[in-house]
Structure 1
Amino acid sequence: MKKIYGSAADALDGVLHDGMMIAAGGFGLCGIPELLLQAIKDAGTKDLIFASNNAGVDDFGIGILLQSRQVKKMISSYVGENAEFMRQYLSGELELEFNPQGTLAERMRAGGCGIPGFYTKTGVGTVIADGKEHKDFPTGPDGAAETYILEEGIFADLSIVKAWKADATGNLVFRKTARNFNPPAAMCGKICIAEVEEIVPTGSLDPDGIHLPGIYVTRLIEGAHEKRIEQRTTRAA
């Protein structure tokens, strides 16, 4: 199966459609699929639902799709660092489904493992639990009942992720903290497209060092990345 494509636009050809759900890897600006996000903007696909920890910043990452009004709903943990994200949410222009970060990561992982739902204590007694099934389990001291809420796995139409290295079969290696949400995001899409800094010969990656097996990856592109610094902190010389 051919997995390597010449550009982000080529890799997305025939995949995008209005109203689709996209799971995107990354945390802030760390490990985001910046080339694929730009190609989605250029394609003009609209009414998108994004499952992503946050939305980058105003002019980078998913933020560029918010600026062009191509996003209908965000399934996220964090609104900060993006003034347009906050403005659209507070003005009612953008739907937002808040998720605790661990819950969001597990919802993606669950979808990738074919698990439609799971129970968690996170969010019990808060607005996160509103409208969700509650169930007691004997997990407290001496078997005392504790309340859990049901969270649903995320099954996205498309996953877009950014990795450090890949081989031609799609095995991925992520660079340090850039691993973040990328593996669970990659797992939960019907189609997964990965952009990487380098594609190496098949067999050259240490099997024990592979972070995501190629079975999850449908298409690959190699490219140069800007990799902006989200919060630049310096000191006087």
Structure 2
Amino acid sequence: MYTSVIKNLAIPLGSQPQEILQNNFLQFIDEHIHLNGDSNFFATLVSARIQTINHLMPLQTDNLYHCITSDYAQAINGVVPLEDLAPHYIEIEKQAISLFGNILCCWAEYEHYCIIQRVIKYPLTKNNPPQVVDSNDKNIVEVVANIENDTRLFITPYCDLPMTLSNAIALKTIENFVKKKQCYELLYFLALSVNGEYMIQYYYEKNTLFPTLLTTTHV
């Protein structure tokens, strides 16, 4: 029954655009992860698939994305069983390939989905008032000791919604490094990017409520 639910989520019905199917699938995975306490779901699946590829075809590239998307891997992904993992792992992998092209792109989109969900649910309370600046446009450089404790809200080039600094940096990491530069290895360590000390640069446009985050550097 569990397998049937996974398959039905990805049936390309004409009345459902691809974006809706993708979002429904990401929501399903998110529910599965939370209901089963399986926060390492994607890391477990990807590591098992890489192990299978390297076992069947040694001396593959060390680059995670190139390994998963190689011509040889295309005949393995979603086909060759994942040893020691429950059957639903490969079923989810199959649907991830169908909807996103490969499991790594699905993982990246899932992390993006989780950030946006946190942003949507984040309350604009009195503890987080909009920062209004009436002066002329200006860039500000600042060192933030612990970004996870910073409650200010920022706008990023990747989302129109204001979000906390830690969410903004995580989103920037996914969009600018993981997806754009194909550094999918960073997905294993994404949690590390939302903690610690950062140097940030941002600016206020005149009469805007929230600053726009420009650059971030881990110190």
TM-score (norm 2): 0.22
> 1 or 2, which has the higher helix percentage?
2
